[in-house]
Amino acid sequence: MNADLDALYQEIILDHYKNPHHKGLRDPYEAEVHHVNPSCGDEVTLRVHLADGVVSDVSYDSVGCSISQASASVLTDLVIGKSVEEAMAIHAEFQELMQGRGTVTPDEEVLEDGIAFAGVAKFPARVKCALLSWMAWKDATAQAMEEKSK
Amino acid sequence: MTRPVVGGLLPELEVIRKDFPILQRTLAGGQPLVYLDSANTSQKPQVVIDSMVDHLERHNANIARAMHQLGAESTEAFESARDKVAAFIGAPSRDEVIFTKNASEALNLVANTMAWKGRFRVGEGDEIVITEMEHHSNIVPWQLLTERTGATLRWFGLTDDGHLDLSAIDSLITEKTKVVALTWVSNMLGTVNPIAAITRRAHEVGALVVIDASQAAPVLPIDLAAMPVEERPDFLAFTGHKVVGPTGIGVLWGSRAALEELPPFLGGGEMIEVVTMQGSTYADIPHKFEAGTPPIVEAVGLGAAVDYLSHVGMTAIHEHEQAITSYALEALATVTGLTILGPLTAAERGGAISFELDGVHPHDIATVVDTRGVAIRAGHHCARPAHARFGVQSSSRMSSYLYTTPSEIDALIEALEYTRSYFKLG
């Protein structure tokens, strides 16, 4: 069983958990969302700042388990500086990995540290932990785009 | 690691364990199951499973409306389940036992019908009193009631050691109070609340009392008829699946006087007397509150479940629970960095023990101990306000029952120590 456990808690995940990247709420931003995992109480407040079609900042404040915290950290590494279109494609790929029940082989070129979450897909109860901040980011980005188009 | 076991364990614990087939199974990797999540849902003895299979194989028919032998048998089985439940809680009358879908529906039944009409109707200026340690199912229905009626929601706060703060009871429960709703045993803190004293005070001001007995019914002997009338609640709700019965069935007991005063909840078949296009009259209790085809086989299973518990003996089950809880409280205290939420002595508690472990999130604890075969719950246990009160975002919870052994508690402790080492905590 330790093999599965070690697959879940990759060193990369524990590193991001202990030293999260881009954490803290920052200005400026066009949209702020608050997402919760109602079954367990994990929470994230996340802000998105877009400039010229590029995700120029993602900042967040969150409480939760190692998986949800590390996932938020990896998210910000992956999407900040990318065009909204590219970032959405990364989002889709991460979501596919998470919902693949362990059958999807991740592409390191696209997901970088995100490939460490492949083991999470085998723990159905933990998939929503990994997706919490990603869903918040998608929601906030959609709202920010709407704000821009007004 | 051996600890002295305090007295009170069920003498035939090994025999009882054999009654629960699931306890014999192994999990991934051949790990034996250590099920410590009974406050979430209890496991089912063979007799409950068999009674449901037998009903479906031999007696299945709709009840009360089928004019044939199977219909009579099915009706008999359903109504005899009501008798068994009535006996289990010492109901003054079997007609006061209403079958619902679960405890949430039972609580919602009361909260909804109180918004409509009758002597107990709640309106603007009225107050509803709950507590900060309620399960969400005994908070949200009352919030909805206040939203619908303009009434005000008030609540008992908690002391630092996890009890209700009763110091302001007389200013909290006043002439304005229409209903006081509280849990008998907390699903998060484990605290056993003084429902008799609170009911007495509520009755002095003419308020109805609704008791959420979801965690109490599994472990405390309940004898409503034996309670002095001024200390007897007006309603008591619990769910079947926590008392070794199936899911899909719950119970609302209400005093005849209160049930007759409340308007119907759901309209439909079997809850009526005469229906015309101009209007309808309603059946007497209990059928007035049981619209539509009820969960028949679930009722049969629940009847078998409460019979099983009564056969083992609720006093003996309570003693067992106390012995295991006491053992678990001592054992958990040996784990470095572990903090127990709620009262620290078994006598003040039910069988659920929530705790925090420094440096590891409850989800991570639950996942790691699960790989050792130990099933516990992690999260806010549907009691977010109680967690907020103690400044805790979420917690881990172990909960035992009549089939729990001291060695299963040892397995939990070992799994927690493993969790600490896995996350490299010193």
pLDDT (tens digit per residue) in B269-309: 889 889 999 999 999 999 999 999 999 999 999 999 999 99
The contacts of residue B405 (CB under 8 Å, 6+ apart) are B13, B17, B324
User: Using N-to-C axis directions, what is the helix angle for B296-312 and B46-54, rounded to 10°?
Assistant: 150
Nearest to A5 among B31, B368, B380 (CB): B368
CB distance from B387 to chain A under 8 Å? yes
Nearest to B379 among A40, A43, A66 (CB): A40
Question: Nearest CA of chain A to the CA of B364: how many Å?
Answer: 6
Domains along chain A? 2-149 (3.90.1010.10)
Assign B381 a pLDDT band (cuts: 50, 70, 90): confident
The contacts of residue B139 (CB under 8 Å, 6+ apart) are B130, B385
**In this structure, how many other beta carbons lie within 10 angstroms of the beta carbon of residue B62?**
16
Tell me the per-residue pLDDT of B225-234, one tens digit each, with 9 for 90 and over.
Answer: 999 999 999 9
Nearest to A39 among B371, B372, B379 (CB): B379
Whether the bond between A106 and the residue before it is cis, its omega within 30 degrees of 0, is no
Q: Does B5 score more than 80 pLDDT?
A: no
From B382, B392, B414, B422, the catalytic residue? B382
Q: Do B367 and A125 touch (CB under 8 A)?
A: yes
Using a CB-CB cut-off of 8 Å, the residues of chain B touching A2 are 371
Q: Does B397 score more than 70 pLDDT?
A: yes
Does residue B297 carry a catalytic annotation?
A: no
CA B331/CA B314 separation, integer angstroms: 25
Question: Nearest CA of chain A to the CA of B366: how many Å?
Answer: 10
Q: Are strands B272-275 and B280-282 parallel, antiparallel or unpaired?
A: antiparallel
Using a CB-CB cut-off of 8 Å, the residues of chain B touching A117 are none
CA nearest neighbour of A17 among A133, A108, A105: A133
Q: Do A41 and B394 touch (CB under 8 A)?
A: yes
Q: Do A65 and B387 touch (CB under 8 A)?
A: no
Tell me the per-residue pLDDT of A22-52, one tens digit each, with 9 for 90 and over.
Answer: 999 999 999 999 999 877 778 999 999 999 9
Over chain A, what HEC string results?
Answer: CHHHHHHHCCHHHHHHHHCCCCEECCCCCCEEEEEECCCCCCEEEEEEEEECCEEEEEEEEEECCHHHHHHHHHHHHHHCCCEHHHHHHHHHHHHHHHCCCCCCCCCHHHHHHHHHHHHHHHCHHHHHHHHHHHHHHHHHHHHHHHHHHC
**In this structure, how many other beta carbons lie within 10 angstroms of the beta carbon of residue B305?**
28
CA B10/CA B319 separation, integer angstroms: 8
Question: Nearest CA of chain A to the CA of B371: how many Å?
Answer: 6
Domains along chain B? 13-38+313-422 (3.90.1150.10), 49-311 (3.40.640.10)
Neighbouring-strand partners of residue B129 = B154, B180
Which residue type sits at B294?
P
Q: Which of B62-66, B118-122, B143-147, B363-367 has the lowest mean pLDDT?
A: B62-66
The pLDDT, as a whole number, for residue A6 is 85
Tell me the per-residue pLDDT of B33-66, one tens digit each, with 9 for 90 and over.
Answer: 999 999 999 999 999 999 999 999 999 999 987 7
The contacts of residue A117 (CB under 8 Å, 6+ apart) are A13, A67, A71, A74, A94, A97, A98, A106, A130
pTM to 2 decimal places: 0.92
The pLDDT, as a whole number, for residue A101 is 85
C-beta of residue B234 within 8 angstroms of C-beta of residue B208: yes
The pLDDT, as a whole number, for residue A38 is 79
CA nearest neighbour of B403 among B30, B1, B46: B46
Tell me if ipTM is over 0.90: no
**In this structure, how many other beta carbons lie within 10 angstroms of the beta carbon of residue A53?**
12
C-beta of residue A49 within 8 angstroms of C-beta of residue A43: no
Q: Do B379 and A123 touch (CB under 8 A)?
A: no
CA B79/CA B181 separation, integer angstroms: 28
Q: Do B361 and A9 touch (CB under 8 A)?
A: no
